[in-house]
């Protein structure tokens, strides 16, 4: 019975993460053009980790769940 609860919990967590990523992916472009600096920072943190700016170039190690979206974007368009 405990294994069933753990599986349900994992599924709920996965669903929540998937919903957040989908919402981010559908609203990110608008958010980056129409919002304040704090909101932009929050969106960047959602994108990934190890965010750096060096010589005016922004570098982000992408969140692993966003990689498939980036790789398949032309097909989604």
Per-residue confidence (pLDDT) for residue 4, from 0 to 100: 63
Residue 76 confidence (pLDDT) above 60? no
pLDDT tens, position by position, 10-60: 667 777 877 877 777 777 777 778 778 888 787 777 777 788 888 988 888
- State the Cα torsion 45-36-29-69 to the nearest 10°: 10
Within the chain, residue ranges assigned H as helices are 2-34, 37-47, 67-76
* Structural domains of the chain, count: 1
> What's the domain range around 48?
2-76
Sign of CA dihedral 7, 9, 11, 14: negative
């Amino acid at each position: 019975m405990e294994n069933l609860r753990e599986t349900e919990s994992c599924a709920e967590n996965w669903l929540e993460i998937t919903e957040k990523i989908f919402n981010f992916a559908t609203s990110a472009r608008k958010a980056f053009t129409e919002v304040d600096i704090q909101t932009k920072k929050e969106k960047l943190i959602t994108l990934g980790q190890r965010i750096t700016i060096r010589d005016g170039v922004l570098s982000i190690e992408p969140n692993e769940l966003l990689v498939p979206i980036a790789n398949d974007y032309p097909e989604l368009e």
